[in-house]
Amino acid sequence: MHQSSLSELEMERYARHIIMREIGGPGQHRLKNARVLVIGAGGLGSPLLQYLAAAGVGTIDIVDHDTVSLSNLQRQVIHGTPDIGMSKVASAAKALERINPHVNVIGHDVQCTNLNVEQLVASSNIVIDGSDNFSTRYLVSDTCYQLGKPLVTAALGVFDASLTTIRAHETGPNGKKNPTYRCLFPTPPPPGTIPACSEAGVLGALAGMMGSMMAIEVIRQIVGFGEGLVGRLLMVDVLDMRFETITYEWDPNNILNGSGR
C-alpha cells in the first residue's frame, strides 16, 4: 500500500497520538493508510465512526440503508435533530467531514446482503460490525473468514453488551487456528427469542460506551499494540456495572473451517 505522509496540520491534529510510545508517527501513518468498513451507522456506529475519524483512519466505508428517525437520537449521537429523514450514511458523512476533513468517507446506502457483501468487504483492511440483526452478523463474519479479513464485532442488549475480535483466517501464537464467530455462537437464536431494541429498549449511553470500545479495539488492531480480543469475549453489564472477559477457542465442529471441512 502506498504510504501517505502526514502534513503539518495532521501532525498537529494527531499530536497526542504521535507522542504516545504505542502509536507514534509510524502508528499514525498506519491509521492514515488504513481502510475500514463499518456496518451500521446507528447506536454502535455513531461513536465508533466519530472516534475513528478523529483518530485519523484514512478511509472509512459506511454501510447503512436506513434513514434518521426521531427515536434514533436517544443513542445515535452522530445524527442530530436537523438530520431526521436524511439517510444515515449521508448524515454520518456530514458529521465526519466536520470532525476531520482529512478522512475519506465512502457511503453505501444499501442493505448488506449476500449479493454485495463480498464486494464491500474485499476492499477493506478491517471490518467492524455494528449491525442490529443476527443475519447480518453471520453473513459478515462468514465473509470475513472467506476473504481473510479481521473483524471487530459487538452486540447490544438492554443493559448488557459484548465485544470481540475475529481473525479466523489466521493461526494464534500457539499454532492453533483462531476461532471463528461460529465457534463462539454456532447458530443464531430462533426468531423472536431476543427482542429488538424497539421492543425492549436500550440504554443510550451503553451504545456510546461500546462504540468507543470498538474504536479502541480497531485502533489497536491497525496499529498493533496491546492484547487484542481474539479468542476473548468482553461482556459488559451496566445494570450492576460489571465487566467480565471469557476466553473461547476454535471449535473443530464449526461449519466454516472445522475438522470436517
The residues that are catalytic are 197
Helix or strand (DSSP H, E) at 127 = strand 126-129
From 194, 163, 195, 208, select the one nearest 73 (Cα to Cα): 208
d(CA 61, CA 39): 8
- Amino acid, res. 233: L
3-state secondary structure of 44: coil
From 261, 250, 259, 251, select the one nearest 170 (Cα to Cα): 250
Contact at 8 Å (CB) between 118 and 143?
Answer: yes
